[in-house]
Amino acid sequence: MLTIGHLINGEAQSEHTRLQDVYNPSTGKVAAKVALAPKATVEQAISAAEAAFPAWRDTPVAKRAQIMFRYKTLLEQNAAQICELVGQQHGKIVHDAMGELTRGIENVEYACYAPELLKGEHSKNVGPNIDSWSEFQALGVVAGITPFNFPIMVPMWMFPMAIMCGNTFVLKPSERDPSATLLVAELLHEAGLPAGVFNVVNGDKEAVDTLLTDPRVAAVSFVGSTPIAEYIYSTATANGKRCQALGGAKNHAIVLPDADIDNAVNSLLGAAFGSSGERCMALSVAVAVGDETADKLVAGLSEAMQNLKVGAYSDKDNDFGPLITAEQRDKVQMYVSSAEADGATIVVDGRNPQVEGYPDGFYVAGTLIDHVSASMKAYQEEIFGPVLCVVRVDNMQQGMDLINEHQYGNGTCLYTRDGEAARYFADNIQVGMVGINIPLPVPVSCHSFGGWKRSLFGDLHAYGPDAVRFYTKRKTVTQRWPSSSVREGVNFSFPS
C-alpha cells in the first residue's frame, strides 16, 4: 500500500514512526497510509527553510516571479492529475475539483504581480536634503496549516505570495487528503524553486505544535474550525509569532418577498450542497421573509432537490460526492436528527442514502429542514455537510438581527430586486463577506478573504493585498547627506 511522506529541502522524505489511514471517501476503503511527522522531522523542515532564506530573500523579485509564472503553466498542464488526486482522497466531483484548482491558480497569478506590490513608497525632500522611503522586507520562515476541504486552493492562499515576498515556507496540510498538496509542491520545484524554500510535512497535533512554538517560525497562517483557530492564534501569538487564523462559519441568505425565487432556488442549491457542504462559505441557512416567501422557497427547493445526484467523485454527472470521513457523515446526520427532535420539519431527508455500487462510502444526500429556530443546535453550530436549514422571519431586520447576533460572521447574502434594501443590508450586516444575489461571495484574488467575529482571529485577511502586509514587515528609511563645506551645530529639539 502507498505510504505518503514529506517534501523537505526539495527531496521526498519518508518517516514511518507513526502512520495514519487515508481513505477514499467514495468507497469507504483505506487507499493509502500517511506518515505523521514527529517533532524532529518538522524541525528538519524548519532548518531547511531557515538555511534557504538568506539566498532566497536576496533573489531579485523579478526572478522569483519567473519561477511563479512557470509554476502556473505546470499547474495547468497537470490539472487532470491534480484533480484526480483531490477526488480520490477528498471525494470532490471532477468539475468541483477543477473549480478549486482554478481559484488556486488565480492566487498564483496575483503573486506574479509581486514586483509591483513590493515597490514600496518614496518621498524626496521631506526636509532639507532629506529623503524618506518605505520598503517591505521578508519575515523569514513562515508556516501554513491547511484543512482537508480545499487541499489545493487554501495552501495557494498562502505560499505563493509568502514565497514571492521573499520568505521560505513550511506547509502542514491536512493528513486526510495529502497527495494533491504534495504534487503541487513537487511542481513548484520543477518550476525552478530552490531547495528548502518550500517544504511540506504531514502530521497531526505534534507537527502543529512544533510549528507554533519553534522560535525560528516568524508567522503562521491557518484555516479550519473555530476551536482550533482560537488555539492556533493564542498559542502562536503567545510564542511571539504573527498569526492569522480563519475559523468556522454559519452563512445565512436572506430571501425577500420581491426576490426571483427560481433564481434563488438554483443558486441556493449550489451554494448549500456543492462539495457536500464542506465549505466554510457554504450557505447553510436560508432566512425567508414572510410565510408566503418561505412556502414558495421550500416548495421550489424540495422539487429541485429530487434531481440532485450524490455519488462517487469519478462520475462527472454527479452533483456532489461523499463527506470526508465516516465520523463526519455520522456527525452531519446527528445534526439532522437533533433538528427533528427539536421540532423542525425534515422536508427532504438525505440520511443514509443508497448509492449504487458504493455501499460503504461516506454519503449524505441533500437535506432540507424547515421551521428551524435560533435555539436549535442545528442552527447554532456549523454542520459542514449538505444540509440547508430554513428559518422564517417577519421582516428583513429580524433576519439581519439573527445574522448579527450569531457567533460567526464569515459570509452572507441577500436575494432582492430592491436596491435600497440591498444597500442597507451591505452597510449594516456584521459579516466580513457579503453577496447581493451572489450566494458564494468569495473574493477574487486581488481582494482579500476573511470573516468577522469568531470566523477570524487576527487583524489581516487571507490572500490579496492583505497577504503582502501579512508576509512582510515595513521598514522606513530616512536619509540625509550633509554638505561637507557646512559645519552644523548641536540641536536638542525634536526634529521637525
Q: Which residues carry out catalysis?
A: 280
The pair phi, psi for residue 92, each rounded to 5°, is -65, 140
**Distance in Å from the first CA to the final CA of the chain:** 71
DSSP β-bridge partners for residue 22? 32
Give the residue carrying C-alpha cell 416548495: 299
Tally Cβ neighbours within 10 Å of residue 164: 26
CB burial string 397-429: b at 16+ within 10 A, e below: eebbebbeebebbbbbbbbbeeeebbeebeeeb
> CA separation (Å) from 163 to 174, 251, 283, 357?
20, 32, 33, 44
Half-sphere exposure of 25 (CA within 13 A, CB side): 30
Pick from 398, 399, 396, 458: nearest CA to 432: 458
Distance, CA of 150 to CA of 246 (rounded, Å): 13
Is the Cβ–Cβ distance between 222 and 246 less than 8 Å? yes
Is the Cβ–Cβ distance between 24 and 202 less than 8 Å? no
Half-sphere exposure of 72 (CA within 13 A, CB side): 19
Q: Order of strands across the sheet with 251-255?
A: 345-348, 367-370, 387-393, 283-289, 251-255, 411-415, 433-436
Per the structure block, which three cell numbers stand in for 299?
A: 416548495
